[in-house]
Amino acid sequence: MAQGQGSHVLVVGAGSMGLITGYILQLAGAKITFLIRPHRAESLDRPQKLYSYDDNQLKTFTGYDYITNPSDISGTDYDFIIITLDGAALKNEVGETLVKSLGKAVRGTRAKIILGTVFFNLMPWFLKTANLESEQVISGQLWIHIYPTSAVTLPVHGSEDVKLIAQADQAYTDCLGQGFSVENSSPAIATAFADLWNSSGVSKCGVVPKEESAVNMTSFFPILAVWGLLDWRNAQKFDATDPLWILAVKAVKEIQGLGLHGAVGQQAAAATTEASLVQVFAGMDKVMPLNLEEFNRYHHGGKVNTQDRALLHACIEQGDAEGKSMTALKDLVRRIEAQAPRE
């Protein structure tokens, strides 16, 4: 029997992150329910096919439930609720209404929320909007790279089976050592969730200090922004002496050095160099069994681009509030918005 047998998990959203999260936790023995919009119901009425670049196999994900109305959360005893919406979706009017509904449904229950949305300093907004105590919510981050095969076709990179990819709804790789991480502001929640995830036997969940999690989550977004300005070139071709790269690294250090990131951020800023970040991204490219630059062109250049730019603006606002100039980040944002199509 899997360690998580008997756990009940609600996954908010059934996009790429939601599906892979639900699949792994089901392997851990958890019962999975998705909260989705009504128009997503038809696609979830059939088994989901997930292609793994790591073993070139097609996985079948079935046996889950779904609900389409947040009011249906009430009265169900969930162990964990995992929010997988991106920052733009969570903070718009519909998302804010959802957060309020979630808060009303779980307030006073034993359900623990994993806020998997990537954004800068999102937790205070979430707790206030949901009217929940901090002891009930922690942040989490997915490290698995996953994409819907209907949205993009990546160039052949290695030994992947293109025929199986064509049959899949999603394709993914979990090759970075951990597939998920949670921060330890509430150690009991973090440990319980990590234990559940790890009992899947196919992926690992790390537990990291809160400040380290915040730095890891947000500080590298200037690199993704400049990657777009460099037309998503192969990471092996990054040049530490390129003026655009130098600008992006300065912006990274400005974000790391924000007061909200504490001593961990200061240490990270002191250690970050143009050459070290070239090595980080070139190293990631080497271990990836998929085409990383084209994945990021799709994901950060398109799918979550609105979220990414909003995150950088939020970092600037925080810097302004702290009396920091954020000169490099402001310059970088001006450049990417001059290039971006009008919305």
Torsion over CA: 336, 339, 341, 343 (sign): positive
Residue 310 in contact with residue 241, Cβ under 8 Å? Answer: no
Burial of 76 (0-12, 13-18, 19+ CB in 10 A): middle
Question: Which amino acid, 250?
Answer: K
Cβ within 8 Å of residue 131, ≥6 positions away: 100, 103, 104, 107
Please report, in angstroms and rounded to a whole number, the separation of the first and last CA atoms in the chain.
50
191-220 per-residue burial string, b: 16 or more CB within 10 A, e: under 16: ebbbebbbbbebbbbbbbebbbbbbbbbbb
Q: How far is CA 195 from CA 7, 61, 190, 207, in A?
A: 12, 21, 8, 10
User: How far, rounded to the nearest angstrom, does the alpha carbon of residue 308 sit from its chain's CA centroid?
Assistant: 11
d(CA 211, CA 204): 21
d(CA 297, CA 231): 8
Residue 227 in contact with residue 296, Cβ under 8 Å? Answer: yes
Q: How far is CA 280 from CA 19, 277, 298, in A?
A: 28, 5, 21
- pLDDT tens string, the chain, 343 residues long: the values are 345 668 999 999 999 999 999 999 999 999 999 999 999 999 999 999 999 999 999 999 999 999 999 989 988 899 999 999 988 889 899 999 999 999 999 999 999 999 999 888 999 999 999 999 999 999 999 999 999 999 999 999 889 999 999 999 999 999 999 999 999 999 999 999 999 999 999 999 999 999 899 898 889 999 999 999 999 999 999 999 999 999 999 999 999 999 999 999 999 999 999 999 999 999 999 999 999 999 999 998 887 788 889 999 999 999 999 999 999 999 999 999 887 654 4
